[in-house]
Structure 1
Amino acid sequence: MASILDILNTNLGKELINKASGKTGVPLNNVSSVLGMVLPLILGNFKNKIQEGYTESLNEMLEEAPNPSKFMRVFSDKETEDLLECGSNYGEMILGENFNSIINTISDSLNVDKAAVQEITTICIPVVIAILSIQKKKENIKNDEIEDLIDSALGSSSKYNNSFFDTIFNIKNNPNIIPEASAMVIGKKNKKDSILKGYTGGK
């Protein structure tokens, strides 16, 4: 099944890695490692918020996400600043009191400066929200289905795989890329216990 980590193998993911590396001075491979840990955490905390009863406000956030398509394009320097500003606002809402603990855990695990981890996390949050926002519109997802969307992005379900691939690959006129992309990730998921455990919203 697909998961949010599949974006790291797309042009979008590579551009995100390059931009975060350029902004923080962290080597590309370390940025990729940070993203590999933090992307599922963003979704996991989103899911936790849903289970805590914040579905309506999170739904509004996806509905009102500013220019989600912009965050799916190649980022200019100006747009990187937009990502930081937007990510700071979203991060407070989604990660909340877990934010510092997540940053500290990732920093200690990967031996990457805490300030850099925080900035990388902040930069990528709007991209995650943009993906979910675009998928929500494509699939006409209702409030009570948002958790299913999160599960799909976490790789726990294949329900919304097609719109996920369509979004991250920015597919226009080549419908064949969806089954090709699906084949690319089938069988590649090896589940392991996360050192971050409950932060991901999973077990």
Structure 2
Amino acid sequence: MAGILDLLNSPMGKQLISGVAQETGKSTDQAGSVLSMALPVLMGAMRKNAATPQGAQGLMSALSNKHDGGILDNLGGLFGGGVDQSVKQDGAGILGHVLGGKQPQVENALSKRSGMDAGTVATVLQVAAPLIMGYLGKQTRQQNISDSNGLGSLLGGMLGGDDGGQKQQSLIESFLDSDGDGSVLDDIAGMALGGKQGGIGGLLGGLFGK
């Protein structure tokens, strides 16, 4: 199964990068760089939430009732003329649920690592979140996933599989659970900018020429 970063290299991913660049007024390299850090963090946060029965049930319910993947069928229409405000509001709701009180910290850390202002990073996350949910929704249907175990396996696979996924998840959790003493930047640097060999760092070391 393709990982979340492989998704960015797909035709759909390239359309997402182009659309986010257009939406934020940034270059495709800048948009791609932020997305390549943000998507694993969001996916890791979803996986962490789904580790509890209540969290898994809530995520499965959202995927079943609202995020069926239809949003991915017309990305050209989504980004044409600007992303609809309702999509951003949906994204804000998703972010509030999966990141909770860590959201400002995540946005600031991504801002410092990418050089993009925090407000623009927030917009990128709001646009990306519904698309990730749509992708997950489509995958759960294609693979007939209906329980928390299957959902956990899906999320783990997209984060890199068994051992790699565990290593990546520990980095993501340390990032999300940072106490705000500044070490969060070291966490995300190691996770997303090649500070660790293999896993997310290895994948991103050559992604977008970084």
Task: Verify same fold: TM over 0.5.
Answer: yes
Structure 2 counterpart of 1:55: 56
Mean CA deviation greater in 85-94 or 74-83: 74-83
What's the CA shift string for 1:4-28, capped at 9, x where partnerless? Answer: 0112112211111111111111211
Gaps of 5+ in 1: 158-190
Kept in 2, the 8 Å contact 1:12–1:73? The answer is no
Give the alignment's Cα RMSD to 1 decimal.
2.8
Structure 2 counterpart of 1:132: 136
Deviation at 1:69, TM superposition (A): 2.1
Which of 174, 177, 188 pairs up with 1:198?
A: 174
Deviation at 1:193, TM superposition (A): 9.9
Kept in 2, the 8 Å contact 1:38–1:121? The answer is yes
Structure 2 counterpart of 1:16: 16
Could you tell me the TM-score, scaled by structure 2's length?
0.71
Structure 1 counterpart of 2:198: none
Identity percentage over the alignment? 23
Structure 2 counterpart of 1:37: 37
Could you tell me the TM-score, scaled by structure 1's length?
0.74
Relative contact order, CA 8 A, sep 6+: which one is greater?
1
Runs of 4 or more above 3 Å deviation: 191-197, 199-202
Kept in 2, the 8 Å contact 1:12–1:72? The answer is no
**Larger helix proportion, structure 1 or 2?**
2
- Separation in structure 2 between the aligned mates of residue 43 and residue 26 of structure 1, nearest angstrom: 23
Deviation at 1:67, TM superposition (A): 5.1
Give the total of aligned pairs. Answer: 170
Gaps of 5+ in 2: 178-190, 192-210
Structure 2 counterpart of 1:70: 71
Matched, 1:28 2:33: no
